[in-house]
Amino acid sequence: MKLIEKTMNKFTTMEEEEEDKGQIFRTIEVATTVDRSNVSPPPPPGDSAASAKPLLEVSGGDELNLIPPLNFSMVDNGIFRSGFPDSANFSFLKTLGLRSIISLCPEPYPENNMQFLKSNGITLFQFGIKGYKCLPGLENEVWLHLWSSKHQKEGSYTNANPKTLEPFVNIPDHKIREALKVLLDEKNHPLLIHCNRGKHRTGCLVGCMRKLQKWCLTSIFDEYQRFAAAKARVSDQRFMELFDVSSFKHIPMSFSCSSR
């Protein structure tokens, strides 16, 4: 009898195990059944590239299209410098929150740029200073020496004469002064200064501001040469050296008073 009971219990246990296995398999089958009515079929081979969205669009538009103008740099808090900006730089300029632009180019401002300024509430201050080039093939020092010798012989070159025909006559003192007044007025900040390449005319205006900040001439010239590089002009550096800042000393410069 005991043998029969053990055999029956064994069969009962086996049946229960089979039922449990069946239940597990049914559970797995239910769990793996997916409602595919709302699932789009995969794209056919070869169409994935056509259906993919451009990276720029996925990322939100202009975030990956921020191109600064040529020779762009920060001068001081709320003051920037660069070469002439074009439409490719507009998205970047928007991030600066500009209130004003000082242009040192004499040519009429492009219509495309004017539209950008108007749509972003930016005021244009234009102080046209003609660009000029040294004689090709001559170092600045040689060019300056030849120019000086020529005008000394003509009797028109005298250091004591305020109206002297210095070779940096192409950088009009009065226009730099007017531009400097705009530059020092915090109401116009954030502000961008630019000429054509962001080297000579822009460098002279920034250099004159540095004199007000009590920078030494060595540091002023180093900054100028960093942007002008091989095209640095002795005439520009002489202009900055002789520029008289005494008439600006009453103007507060709370945006920065750094000195070197």
What is the predicted pLDDT for the residue at 180? Answer: 96
Place of tokens 């002297």: 164
Domain count, the chain: 1
- Structural domain including 76 reads 64-130+169-243
Question: What pLDDT sits at residue 28?
Answer: 38
Band the pLDDT of 161: cuts 50, 70, 90: very low
Spell out the alpha helix ranges (H) of the chain: 2-31, 48-51, 55-58, 90-94, 111-119, 140-153, 173-184, 200-212, 217-228, 234-242
For residue 21, being part of any structural domain is answered with: no
The answer as to whether 16 is a domain residue is: no
pTM for this structure?
A: 0.64
- Domain for residue 101, yes or no? yes
Q: Does the pLDDT at position 186 exceed 50?
A: yes
Residues with catalytic roles? 195
Taking CA atoms, 166 is separated from 149, 160, 163, 202, 242, in Å, by 11, 11, 8, 19, 11
Residue 18 lies in a domain: no
Question: For the domain that residue 234 is a member of, what is the CATH number?
Answer: 3.90.190.10
User: Angle 78-192-115 (CA atoms, 0-180°, nearest 5)?
Assistant: 125
| Residues 231-258 pLDDT 10s | 899 999 999 999 999 988 777 665 554 4
Nearest to 77, CA basis, from 215, 259, 257: 257
32 occurs within a structural domain:
no
Band the pLDDT of 208: cuts 50, 70, 90: very high
Asked, for residue 156, whether it belongs to a domain, the answer is no
Return the higher-pLDDT residue of 239 and 27. Answer: 239
Residue 104, domain member (yes or no) = yes
Confidence of residue 199 (pLDDT cuts 50, 70, 90): very high
Q: How far apart are CA 110 and CA 123, in angstroms?
A: 14
Distance CA 155, CA 150 (A): 9
Judge whether 55 lies within some domain: no
pLDDT of 225 over the 80 cut: yes
Do residues 156 and 43 lie in contact, with contact meaning Cβ atoms separated by under 8 Å?
Answer: no
